[in-house]
Chains A and B, each alone.
Chain A
Amino acid sequence: MSPKLLEVDSIEVFYGEFQALFGVSLSVDKGELVALLGANGAGKTTTLRTISGILRPRRGRIIWRGKDITDTPAYKRVEMGISHVPEGRGIFPKLTVYENLRVAAYTKRAKEKFSESLEMVYNLFPRLRERRNQLAGTLSGGEQQMLAIGRALIQRPELLMMDEPSLGLAPKLAREVIFLAKKLRDEYGITVLLVEQNVRLSLKVADRAYILETGRIVMEGTPEELEKNPKVREAYLGI
């Protein structure tokens, strides 16, 4: 059996003395769209940050294509194909839209295909093409989210991690962004790990989902399984 694309193996992560994750394990197979769901403060962002290498786990491992990358610095993981669209978008406000996209092609992996990727991103988000010479800090929230996702696509990821991309967007846009995750998987073959609080919509697009509560995975399953679960129905779907 070939190894999973990504395996998170019982990670414990601390902020100083405060423990945010208590042995979180999850896995993502190539081509899957996996959702990581949970309420405020559950540890979703912490999990993504540990996968991308911004945070180091005190215990546990991150395995990428069967290789232990727990000690690999974040910038090298991008070269390996792991892209992370951070919470709050993290665009560079004083760079232009184009420069934001250009800087995303800093890795060898991305640089070679930059013009091709740029065309793809501009076609996916025509707004970005129109505003390419505008400072990114002057974009609207939705446009900034497009830029953040566009930047990740420029990186030519194998695994795209998105941290609450729908946050702060109007319902229609929020829906579009979550369905975009599915489109990227279906049309571009990118494996997606989607962090969301919008459980209802996320379960519409995901193949599998994990539910995180105060630093622990409490449930895992297909959308059908989770939607049937009375606890999920009550706590996350409000039924």
Chain B
Amino acid sequence: MVAAVDLLASTVDGILIGSIYALVGVGLALIWGVMEIINFAHGDYMMLGALTAYFLYLAGIDPLVGAVAAFVVVYALGVLTQRAVINRILDAPLLTQIAVTFAILLIIRYGVEAAFGPYTRRIASWYANVYYHVGPLTIPLPKLIAFIVSLLVAAGLYIFLFKTDTGIALRATSQNRVVAELMGINVKRMYDLAFGIGVGIAGLAGAILALFYPIFPEMGAFFALIAFIVVVLGGFGSVFGAYLGGILIGVIESVSALFVNPALKDVVAFIIFLLIILVKPTGLFGRGE
């Protein structure tokens, strides 16, 4: 029998970790929604963000400040990638696009490994070992911070997409790029923004994840997989659907660890994902095309 308190604790923990999945997924959904590019290198931009925060931490900068810097750095790298590579394959066949973003993945992942070694690194902030006790629950401060940052980023993204002229232009571009151009929108500039913000959010997620998670060159692999699932669950391209999808996967994973061997918790999450998609191929929050 699983005690109710364990169930509650796992659910809370699932929400906290899910809020990171959500951020990574949101970035991927934004890029897909605006550009119809599947960014296979998404998890590796996340790793770059974690690494940025780590090096800044070594230089004595608080990881939370480092997280903001991680966004800026990865955003800039994203814009660079967009201009140098992605812009040229926008109308290329799907397989070409996949091969290209996969090549970017390899370059980043193994470039980092070659440059900085295959080591696992950790950020030990002053709050790394602070825990809050709320009733029967024990909540680690780093995860709580990650959750709050995630909510703030989601809120910020919402305001940007729905309340600013640039955000509305970005949504317009995602719906019809030719007509967006006829509205006087520089569509290439919108692609810079979408790709930059998309991977920048992943980088930021990597940085706040690093508050309680090890950093290593291949860390992106698992999170990219999760991000894909989250985007599909959320109804391909729906940014806020992806956010909810992320939380959901976090909870499923965490709760299922109570019932099965914890080593299989991701397997359970993926099986549930498959079941949901078989029943509702447009995703949980998708309205179809």
Among A54, A75, A110, A155, the residue within 8 A (CB) of B186 is: A75
B85: chain A residues at CB < 8 Å are: none
Contact, CB under 8 Å: B172 / A86: no
Residue of B nearest to A98 (CB): B168
Residue of B nearest to A105 (CB): B165
Q: Which of B109-117, B148-156, B175-183, B277-285 contacts A (4 or more CB under 8 A)?
A: B175-183
Mostly, the B contact residues are helix
Task: Give the total of A residues in contact with B, Cβ under 8 Å.
Answer: 30
Residue of B nearest to A151 (CB): B183
At the interface, yes or no: B30 with Cβ under 8 Å from chain A?
no
Residue of A nearest to B166 (CB): A106
Residue of B nearest to A111 (CB): B165
Chain B 56-86 per-residue mask, 1 if CB under 8 angstroms from chain A, else 0: 0000000000000000000000000000000
At the interface, yes or no: B184 with Cβ under 8 Å from chain A?
yes
A95: chain B residues at CB < 8 Å are: 168, 171-172, 175
Residue of B nearest to A106 (CB): B184
Contact, CB under 8 Å: B178 / A75: no
Contact, CB under 8 Å: B182 / A74: yes
A44: chain B residues at CB < 8 Å are: none
Measured CA separation A86–B178 after assembly (Å): 10
At the interface, yes or no: B187 with Cβ under 8 Å from chain A?
yes
Contact, CB under 8 Å: B171 / A92: yes
B185: chain A residues at CB < 8 Å are: 75, 103, 106
At the interface, yes or no: B255 with Cβ under 8 Å from chain A?
no
Among A91, A99, A111, the residue within 8 A (CB) of B168 is: A99
> Which A20-62 residues have a C-beta within 8 angstroms of B?
52-54
B176: chain A residues at CB < 8 Å are: 90, 92
At the interface, yes or no: A213 with Cβ under 8 Å from chain B?
no
B244: chain A residues at CB < 8 Å are: none
At the interface, yes or no: A227 with Cβ under 8 Å from chain B?
no
Contact, CB under 8 Å: B184 / A107: yes
> Which A69-111 residues have a C-beta within 8 angstroms of B?
73-76, 78-79, 83-84, 86, 90-95, 99-100, 102-107, 110-111
Measured CA separation A132–B258 after assembly (Å): 50
> Which B127-174 residues have a C-beta within 8 angstroms of A?
165, 168-169, 171-172
CB of B8 to closest CB in A, whole Å: 38
Among A99, A102, A155, the residue within 8 A (CB) of B184 is: A155
Contact, CB under 8 Å: A78 / B178: no
* Given contacts A78-B184, A107-B184, A102 and B168 within 8 Å (CB-CB): yes
Residue of B nearest to A78 (CB): B184
Contact, CB under 8 Å: B182 / A78: yes
B182: chain A residues at CB < 8 Å are: 52, 54, 74, 78, 83-84, 86, 90
Measured CA separation A91–B182 after assembly (Å): 11
16 new A-B contacts, CB < 8 A, other than A74-B181, A103-B169, are A52-B182, A75-B186, A75-B187, A86-B182, A91-B179, A92-B172, A92-B176, A93-B175, A94-B171, A95-B168, A99-B168, A99-B171, A99-B172, A102-B168, A106-B183, A106-B184
Report the 4 A-B pairs with minimum CB-CB distance, sorted nearest first: A78-B184, A107-B184, A90-B179, A74-B181
